[in-house]
Structure 1
Amino acid sequence: MNATAADTAADWASGKGHTDENFPVASKLVAPRFRAPIMAFYRFARLADDIADHETMPADQKLERLEVMRMGITGECEAEPSAVALRQVMAERGLDPVHALDLLEAFRRDVTKLRYGSWDELMDYCRYSANPVGRFVLDVHGEDRALWRANDALCTALQVINHLQDCGKDYRQLDRVYLPQDMLASAGARTAELREDQASPALLTVIQACAERTQHLLSDAAPFARRIRDRRLGVEVAVIQRLAVSLAARLRRRDPLSERVHHGKAEALLLASGAALGRFVRP
């Protein structure tokens, strides 16, 4: 294997940073002593995501690059700096590498699996693509792993919201569809409709049904922020929960192919402020 992944990382990096994400990443709400390991995990995940989503890199080359990253986590290879840096951070703090390795499984699927047959298949994908992120943050803070169930509900909801918001772009640019195929078939919708400038009534029915299921996930995650011991992390989770609830509700009313779903800065700030205040005053 050619383990020179770090030599041309700029060739496939999207340039996207943690402030460009749809939800907060290691915001100033998080205590400074925890930000470094979270950012190391983010940089690792960001690069793996950029590799999997690259529009022209051949699939076999993507898988090779992702394997180099895996070897960086396990200590078999030193070629990818972000993987080596994360491995060192995890070793210093006694953190489990399973979260990084699980995440790589999701990115391998992004390269090799372009359709999801059912909601259950999509949930299994989110088990690897979303849940490890929150689990890692909880481990960094020394939180009880009993919180993982609530974490998983929230992280999965965030992932599905991102999929629904970007469903048109994912199909047009990557031929990747996260809307369950059985739900599309039942509604009489065709995958190719994702290429249009406006969703058909059938396609909109599927998007709204997925948004409704996402709202159920968010209901399961509702107690999460209050159960976190670290007050600052609890506030950040409360903010993320509030933003997600708002977006899921919008996706039940708006067409992501033709209408803006993302929050504007003022909207996001207002929602975040209300959620933060609520978490601070609650015991």
Structure 2
Amino acid sequence: MQQEHIDASKAIQKRTGRTFYLATRFLPERVRHATHVLYAFFRIADEVVDDADDADPATQRAQLESLRAQAVGEQAPDDPVLEAFGELRERYGIDDEEINTFIDAMATDIETSRYETYADLESYMRGSAASVGVMMTAIMEPDAEDVAIPHAVTLGEAFQMTNFLRDVREDIRERDRIYLPQETLRNHGVDPAQIERLEYSESFAGAMAAELKRTEELYREGVAGIRYLPEDCQLPVLLAAVLYAEHHTVIRNQGYDVLSREPSLSTARKLWCLAKTRWHWHWNRDPEAVFERVSAVPTADHDHRHPEHGDGVPTRS
């Protein structure tokens, strides 16, 4: 890949994905450059539907189809990121089916703004998150790829769910989307109109707590597969998991109120997560053990002994 293409990709990732970018910096160069390109490609597609500037659905679909054609080599790339992505696709044998599945998920965002059940949301994430995990695994080239991929898929879904839970306010205000399953909202007595009005309630907090708990199960399953990645990739992926999951602490500290303000990580908090993860990794190269020690995700044993975790909801102060 040309350096200017890598630099363009890196700039996009640094501007739009600062949390993941921090973890990416610890990847070995052979994977780090490819990660910049993958992330930039994902972001370009995402911006077609998230930052459309009043583009009509037909225009958005046409833009996504052009991206698809360029990404799979059916059309000459018109962007340095897409040119670099084409090189990655050939070098690492990235399956066109994964690219198509990802683009299809982006197209879903054009007209779908609500998901009835978690199964419906999971189907969407098969493209928006799982395909990302599959492609990331491909560029890391683990020896036991078939074993690593299912965990990578699950970890990708965990990251995506954290984004959904963190961005409830932004998604409804800027895109009229609610990714929390409607079924979960009903089970906790939440009318979607309350979210549209940014109206916090203990019922909403209960729905958030339930989805947070579900997401933390995904983290535990996903992190269990980090051991199957190349040794020089394990710490960076673990760091990404710790950083994303740290949003859960902020969400809980806000009493699950993500409607009044978005739960964000300060630079100091990110650096603290980084420091404690690296310190424990120095003494114990077991990803699951380190994640249990330093992350915001309670252990499975804790959830079993304290079934109220994720269900008992504090009143917002």
TM > 0.5? yes
TM-score of the two chains, using structure 1 as the length reference: 0.86
CA deviation profile, 1:141-173 (whole Å, cap 9, x unmatched): 111231122212211111111111111211121
Range that drifts further, 233-242 or 195-204: 195-204
Q: 1:101 to 1:132 in 2, by over 3 A?
A: same
In 2, Cα distance between equivalents of 1:45 and 1:222: 22
Aligned residue identity for 1:44? F
One of 58, 66, 76 as aligned partner of 1:60: 58
In 1, Cα distance between equivalents of 2:53 and 2:204: 25
- The count of aligned residue pairs is 268
Q: Does 1:275 align with 2:277?
A: yes
Offset at residue 203 of structure 1 (A): 1.7
Q: Does 1:255 align with 2:269?
A: no
Offset at residue 22 of structure 1 (A): 5.5
Q: Which position in structure 2 is the counterpart of 1:83?
A: 82
Map 1:9-24 → 2, pairs under 5 A: 17-21=13-17, 23-24=19-20
* Kept after mapping to 2: 8 A contact 1:242/1:271: yes
Aligned residue identity for 2:97? V
Q: Which position in structure 2 is the counterpart of 1:113?
A: 112
Q: 1:50 to 1:92 in 2, by over 3 A?
A: same
Range that drifts further, 27-36 or 85-94: 85-94
Offset at residue 179 of structure 1 (A): 0.9
Q: Which position in structure 2 is the counterpart of 1:11?
A: none
One of 66, 72, 87 as aligned partner of 1:74: 72
SS, match of residue 24 in structure 2: coil
Aligned residue identity for 2:181? P
Q: 1:203 to 1:192 in 2, by over 3 A?
A: same
SS, match of residue 113 in structure 2: coil
Gaps of 5+ in 2: 1-10, 286-317
In 2, Cα distance between equivalents of 1:71 and 1:280: 45
Offset at residue 112 of structure 1 (A): 2.1
Q: Which position in structure 2 is the counterpart of 1:214?
A: 215
Q: Which position in structure 2 is the counterpart of 1:9?
A: none
Q: Which position in structure 1 is the counterpart of 2:36?
A: 39
Q: 1:48 to 1:260 in 2, by over 3 A?
A: closer
* Kept after mapping to 2: 8 A contact 1:135/1:151: yes
Offset at residue 187 of structure 1 (A): 1.9
Gaps of 5+ in 1: 1-14
SS, match of residue 106 in structure 1: helix
SS, match of residue 257 in structure 2: coil
* Kept after mapping to 1: 8 A contact 2:208/2:256: no
Aligned residue identity for 1:68? S
Q: Which position in structure 1 is the counterpart of 2:193?
A: 192
Range that drifts further, 171-180 or 218-227: 218-227
Q: Which position in structure 1 is the counterpart of 2:166?
A: 165
In 2, Cα distance between equivalents of 1:218 and 1:92: 30
In 2, Cα distance between equivalents of 1:69 and 1:200: 41
One of 30, 42, 45 as aligned partner of 1:48: 45
RMSD: 2.1
SS, match of residue 24 in structure 1: helix
Aligned residue identity for 1:199? Y
In 1, Cα distance between equivalents of 2:94 and 2:184: 39
Q: 1:90 to 1:79 in 2, by over 3 A?
A: closer
* Kept after mapping to 1: 8 A contact 2:167/2:262: no
Identity of aligned pairs, percent? 22
Q: Which position in structure 2 is the counterpart of 1:147?
A: 148
Q: Which position in structure 2 is the counterpart of 1:202?
A: 203
* Kept after mapping to 2: 8 A contact 1:68/1:80: no
Q: 1:228 to 1:212 in 2, by over 3 A?
A: same
SS, match of residue 20 in structure 2: coil
In 2, Cα distance between equivalents of 1:102 and 1:254: 32
CA deviation profile, 1:216-263 (whole Å, cap 9, x unmatched): 1112123233332232x1011111222233223443443111245221
In 1, Cα distance between equivalents of 2:281 and 2:138: 21
TM-score of the two chains, using structure 2 as the length reference: 0.78
Offset at residue 72 of structure 1 (A): 0.7
